[in-house]
Chain A
Amino acid sequence: MTLRAGDPVGDLTFLRPDGSAVALSSFRGRPLLLIFLRHLG
Protein backbone atom coordinates (compact mmCIF):
# COMPACT_ATOMS: atom_id res chain seq x y z
CA MET A 1 0.00 0.00 0.00
CA THR A 2 1.35 3.41 -0.94
CA LEU A 3 2.40 5.61 1.94
CA ARG A 4 0.21 8.66 2.40
CA ALA A 5 0.66 11.85 4.36
CA GLY A 6 0.34 11.14 8.06
CA ASP A 7 1.36 7.50 7.74
CA PRO A 8 4.19 6.31 9.95
CA VAL A 9 7.14 5.18 7.90
CA GLY A 10 8.49 1.78 8.86
CA ASP A 11 12.09 1.56 9.94
CA LEU A 12 14.25 0.96 6.94
CA THR A 13 17.92 0.13 6.81
CA PHE A 14 20.41 1.81 4.53
CA LEU A 15 24.13 1.46 3.99
CA ARG A 16 26.54 4.26 4.68
CA PRO A 17 29.34 4.86 2.15
CA ASP A 18 31.63 2.78 4.34
CA GLY A 19 29.20 -0.15 4.09
CA SER A 20 27.93 0.00 7.66
CA ALA A 21 24.19 -0.17 8.27
CA VAL A 22 22.15 2.79 9.46
CA ALA A 23 18.47 2.77 10.34
CA LEU A 24 16.08 5.44 9.14
CA SER A 25 14.89 5.80 12.74
CA SER A 26 18.32 7.13 13.70
CA PHE A 27 17.43 10.33 11.85
CA ARG A 28 14.33 10.99 13.97
CA GLY A 29 14.05 14.01 16.21
CA ARG A 30 13.85 16.61 13.47
CA PRO A 31 12.14 16.79 10.10
CA LEU A 32 13.97 14.88 7.40
CA LEU A 33 14.02 15.54 3.66
CA LEU A 34 14.68 12.29 1.83
CA ILE A 35 15.97 12.69 -1.71
CA PHE A 36 15.84 9.50 -3.74
CA LEU A 37 18.01 9.69 -6.84
CA ARG A 38 17.28 7.76 -10.01
CA HIS A 39 20.87 6.78 -10.47
CA LEU A 40 24.29 8.35 -10.03
CA GLY A 41 25.68 10.38 -12.89
Chain B
Amino acid sequence: MQGAYDGIHAAGAEALLVVQAAPVLLTVFLRDHPLPFAAVSDPTRAAYRAFGLERATWAQMLRPRALRGYLRLMFRGWIPRLHSRGEDVMQLGGDFVLDAEGRLSYAYRSADPTDRPGVDELLRAVSASRK
Protein backbone atom coordinates (compact mmCIF):
# COMPACT_ATOMS: atom_id res chain seq x y z
CA MET B 1 0.00 0.00 0.00
CA GLN B 2 2.73 2.45 0.98
CA GLY B 3 4.68 1.72 -2.19
CA ALA B 4 1.66 2.34 -4.38
CA TYR B 5 0.83 5.54 -2.52
CA ASP B 6 4.42 6.72 -2.85
CA GLY B 7 4.04 6.38 -6.61
CA ILE B 8 0.77 8.30 -6.57
CA HIS B 9 2.23 11.02 -4.40
CA ALA B 10 5.37 11.23 -6.56
CA ALA B 11 3.06 11.83 -9.53
CA GLY B 12 1.73 14.88 -7.72
CA ALA B 13 -1.59 13.29 -6.82
CA GLU B 14 -3.44 12.44 -3.66
CA ALA B 15 -5.57 9.41 -2.80
CA LEU B 16 -8.85 9.16 -0.96
CA LEU B 17 -10.43 5.93 0.27
CA VAL B 18 -14.23 5.92 0.30
CA VAL B 19 -16.20 3.37 2.30
CA GLN B 20 -19.91 2.89 2.81
CA ALA B 21 -19.50 2.03 6.48
CA ALA B 22 -20.39 4.56 9.16
CA PRO B 23 -17.60 6.86 10.39
CA VAL B 24 -17.29 5.02 13.70
CA LEU B 25 -16.63 1.76 11.86
CA LEU B 26 -14.14 3.50 9.58
CA THR B 27 -12.33 4.70 12.69
CA VAL B 28 -12.02 1.11 13.94
CA PHE B 29 -10.83 -0.03 10.52
CA LEU B 30 -8.15 2.68 10.38
CA ARG B 31 -6.95 1.82 13.84
CA ASP B 32 -6.22 -1.71 12.63
CA HIS B 33 -5.21 -0.72 9.08
CA PRO B 34 -3.56 2.70 9.20
CA LEU B 35 -3.32 4.38 5.80
CA PRO B 36 -0.89 6.97 4.46
CA PHE B 37 -3.82 8.88 2.93
CA ALA B 38 -7.26 10.10 3.93
CA ALA B 39 -10.33 7.91 4.23
CA VAL B 40 -13.94 9.02 4.32
CA SER B 41 -17.34 7.53 4.81
CA ASP B 42 -20.34 7.61 2.44
CA PRO B 43 -23.00 5.75 4.44
CA THR B 44 -25.86 6.84 2.17
CA ARG B 45 -23.85 5.69 -0.86
CA ALA B 46 -24.71 8.94 -2.64
CA ALA B 47 -21.18 9.18 -4.02
CA TYR B 48 -21.26 5.54 -5.06
CA ARG B 49 -24.38 6.29 -7.10
CA ALA B 50 -22.98 9.57 -8.45
CA PHE B 51 -19.99 7.67 -9.85
CA GLY B 52 -22.22 5.00 -11.35
CA LEU B 53 -21.21 2.21 -9.01
CA GLU B 54 -23.93 -0.39 -9.03
CA ARG B 55 -24.99 -3.31 -6.93
CA ALA B 56 -23.79 -6.72 -7.98
CA THR B 57 -26.19 -9.42 -8.96
CA TRP B 58 -25.86 -12.88 -7.52
CA ALA B 59 -24.64 -13.99 -10.95
CA GLN B 60 -21.79 -11.48 -10.69
CA MET B 61 -21.01 -12.52 -7.13
CA LEU B 62 -20.79 -16.18 -8.13
CA ARG B 63 -18.90 -15.75 -11.39
CA PRO B 64 -15.99 -18.20 -11.63
CA ARG B 65 -13.60 -15.24 -11.93
CA ALA B 66 -14.98 -13.72 -8.74
CA LEU B 67 -14.78 -17.03 -6.88
CA ARG B 68 -11.19 -17.53 -8.07
CA GLY B 69 -10.42 -14.02 -6.90
CA TYR B 70 -11.73 -14.76 -3.44
CA LEU B 71 -9.75 -17.99 -3.31
CA ARG B 72 -6.59 -16.11 -4.27
CA LEU B 73 -7.22 -13.61 -1.50
CA MET B 74 -7.81 -16.37 1.02
CA PHE B 75 -4.56 -18.08 0.07
CA ARG B 76 -2.86 -14.75 0.77
CA GLY B 77 -4.31 -14.69 4.25
CA TRP B 78 -7.54 -12.78 3.81
CA ILE B 79 -10.30 -14.12 5.98
CA PRO B 80 -13.86 -13.45 4.82
CA ARG B 81 -16.07 -11.88 7.41
CA LEU B 82 -19.52 -10.45 7.55
CA HIS B 83 -19.97 -6.90 6.37
CA SER B 84 -20.66 -4.23 8.96
CA ARG B 85 -24.17 -3.14 9.85
CA GLY B 86 -25.49 -0.63 7.32
CA GLU B 87 -23.21 -1.80 4.55
CA ASP B 88 -24.70 -3.23 1.39
CA VAL B 89 -22.76 -6.41 0.68
CA MET B 90 -23.86 -6.29 -2.95
CA GLN B 91 -22.40 -2.81 -3.54
CA LEU B 92 -19.60 -2.89 -6.09
CA GLY B 93 -16.50 -0.74 -5.82
CA GLY B 94 -14.41 1.17 -8.30
CA ASP B 95 -11.48 3.48 -8.83
CA PHE B 96 -11.56 6.97 -10.32
CA VAL B 97 -9.10 9.73 -11.02
CA LEU B 98 -10.12 13.36 -10.96
CA ASP B 99 -7.85 15.99 -12.42
CA ALA B 100 -6.83 19.06 -10.45
CA GLU B 101 -9.97 20.88 -11.60
CA GLY B 102 -12.28 18.11 -10.45
CA ARG B 103 -13.03 16.58 -13.84
CA LEU B 104 -13.19 12.85 -14.26
CA SER B 105 -10.16 11.60 -16.17
CA TYR B 106 -10.29 7.86 -15.44
CA ALA B 107 -13.01 5.48 -14.35
CA TYR B 108 -12.89 1.80 -13.45
CA ARG B 109 -16.19 0.39 -12.25
CA SER B 110 -15.77 -3.13 -10.93
CA ALA B 111 -17.65 -5.78 -12.88
CA ASP B 112 -17.61 -8.21 -9.98
CA PRO B 113 -16.51 -8.15 -6.33
CA THR B 114 -12.87 -9.00 -7.03
CA ASP B 115 -12.47 -6.89 -10.17
CA ARG B 116 -10.02 -4.02 -9.58
CA PRO B 117 -7.39 -2.41 -11.79
CA GLY B 118 -3.73 -3.06 -11.12
CA VAL B 119 -1.53 -0.50 -9.43
CA ASP B 120 0.39 0.18 -12.65
CA GLU B 121 -2.82 1.07 -14.46
CA LEU B 122 -3.80 3.45 -11.66
CA LEU B 123 -0.38 5.10 -11.72
CA ARG B 124 -0.68 5.58 -15.49
CA ALA B 125 -4.14 7.07 -15.02
CA VAL B 126 -2.86 9.46 -12.39
CA SER B 127 0.03 10.56 -14.61
CA ALA B 128 -2.31 11.01 -17.58
CA SER B 129 -4.62 13.24 -15.54
CA ARG B 130 -1.88 15.85 -15.27
CA LYS B 131 -1.82 16.48 -19.03
**Which residues of A are interface residues toward B (Cβ below 8 A)?**
2-10, 12-19, 22, 24-25, 27-41
Contacts and interface: CB of A to CB of B under 8 A. Distances in A.
Contacts of A38: 89, 91-93, 110, 113
B16 A6 contact: no
B106 A9 contact: no
A41 B23 contact: no
* Shortest Cβ-Cβ A-B pairs, 4 listed: A14-B40, A31-B13, A2-B52, A39-B83
A20 to B, nearest CB: 9
Contacts, number: 160
Contact of A27 (B16, B53, B105): B16
A4 to B, nearest CB: 7
Contacts of B13: 30-33
B104 A6 contact: yes
Contacts of A19: 23-24
22 contacts: A3-B104, A4-B104, A5-B104, A6-B103, A15-B40, A15-B41, A16-B38, A16-B41, A17-B23, A17-B27, A17-B39, A24-B102, A27-B14, A31-B100, A35-B15, A37-B19, A37-B20, A38-B92, A38-B110, A39-B19, A39-B87, A40-B26
A33 B93 CA distance: 13
Interface string B76-109: 0000111110011101111111111111111100
Contacts of A4: 104, 107
Interface in B19-45: 19-21, 23-27, 29-30, 38-43
